[in-house]
């Protein structure tokens, strides 16, 4: 999995006015926590953070806070309800010897047989939650749809990857081919 380096400045616990002043300066308040690490409060530049939040890709984040470096993943993002501004980020410390739970984007490959027969391809999910060791984390999950016929779906339970456990519910429908009026007419004739 790709790494993303993010530099931050340590901060103190503050009230609403302090946090509001930080956001006015173009900084985003963040929190880092995890097993074996005390909570660390810090801020990052909002423009630098967009490289992490405004992309479909998933990253392992290398946080540089003063003279310390942490390896983490984004645990939770809070956005403004109207504007496209990140208000707060929670990072979770990870290690190479314990499995990491993270959302990974899906990559659909091939041309479905059902689409060639007149059906319509529908993609329901863009990413799945998986768990794996850091060295085994894929950048994306590839799904081949060439054998997918009309009325068939691919669910999360159908997928198998080496050294990766899928945490999303097994009944999650990823994609499928729906019948169209044209394909239904062709079938009745």
Give per-residue pLDDT as tens, 96-140. Answer: 888 988 999 999 999 998 888 888 999 999 999 999 998 888 999
Q: What are phi and psi of 148, to 5 degrees?
A: -75, 115
22 Rama class: left (phi>0) / alpha (psi -120 to 50) / beta = alpha
Give the pLDDT confidence score for residue 14 in this predicted structure.
75
pLDDT over 70 at 142, yes or no: yes
- The answer to whether 154 and 146 are in contact (CB under 8 A) is no
Burial of 8 per CB tally in 10 Å (0-12, 13-18, 19+):
buried
pLDDT value of residue 183: 66
Distance (Å, whole) CA 106 – CA 128: 7
Q: Which of 150, 149, 153 is nearest to 171 (CA)?
A: 153
Count other C-beta atoms under 10 Å from residue 127's C-beta: 17
Arithmetic mean of pLDDT over the chain: 88
The stretch 150-158 carries a mean pLDDT of: 91
pLDDT on residue 131: 92
Helix (H) / strand (E) element for 118: namely none
* CA within 13 Å, CB half, 12: 4
Measured between its terminal Cα atoms, the distance across the chain in Å is 50
Structure tokens at 187: 């079938």
Task: Return the bridge partners of 70, or none.
Answer: 63
Query: Could you tell me the two tokens for 180?
Result: 């169209």
Pair 93, 63: CB distance under 8 Å: no
User: What are residue 167's phi and psi, to 5 degrees?
Assistant: -95, -20
- For residue 72, give both structure tokens: 């983490």
pLDDT tens digit string along 5-45? 989 888 888 788 888 888 888 899 999 988 888 888 899 99
Please report the domains of the chain, with CATH numbers, ordered by start residue: 3-94 (2.40.240.10), 101-188 (2.170.120.20)
* pTM for the full predicted model: 0.79
């Amino acid at each position: 999995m790709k790494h993303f380096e993010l530099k931050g400045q340590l901060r103190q616990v503050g009230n609403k006015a302090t946090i509001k002043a930080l956001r006015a300066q173009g900084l985003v308040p963040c929190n880092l926590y995890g097993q074996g690490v005390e909570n660390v409060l810090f801020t990052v530049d909002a423009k630098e953070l967009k490289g992490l939040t405004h992309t479909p890709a998933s990253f392992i984040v290398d946080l540089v806070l003063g003279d310390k470096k942490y390896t983490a993943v984004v645990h939770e993002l809070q956005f403004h309800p109207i504007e496209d501004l990140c208000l707060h980020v929670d990072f979770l410390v990870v290690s190479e010897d314990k499995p990491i739970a993270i959302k990974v984007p899906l990559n659909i490959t091939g041309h479905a047989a059902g689409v060639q027969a007149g059906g319509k391809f529908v993609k329901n999910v863009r990413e799945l939650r998986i768990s794996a060791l850091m060295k085994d984390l894929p950048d994306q999950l590839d799904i081949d749809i060439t054998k997918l016929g009309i009325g068939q779906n691919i669910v999360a339970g159908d997928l198998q990857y080496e050294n990766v456990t899928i945490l999303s519910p097994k009944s999650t429908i990823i994609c499928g081919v729906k019948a169209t009026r044209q394909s239904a007419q062709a079938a009745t004739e």
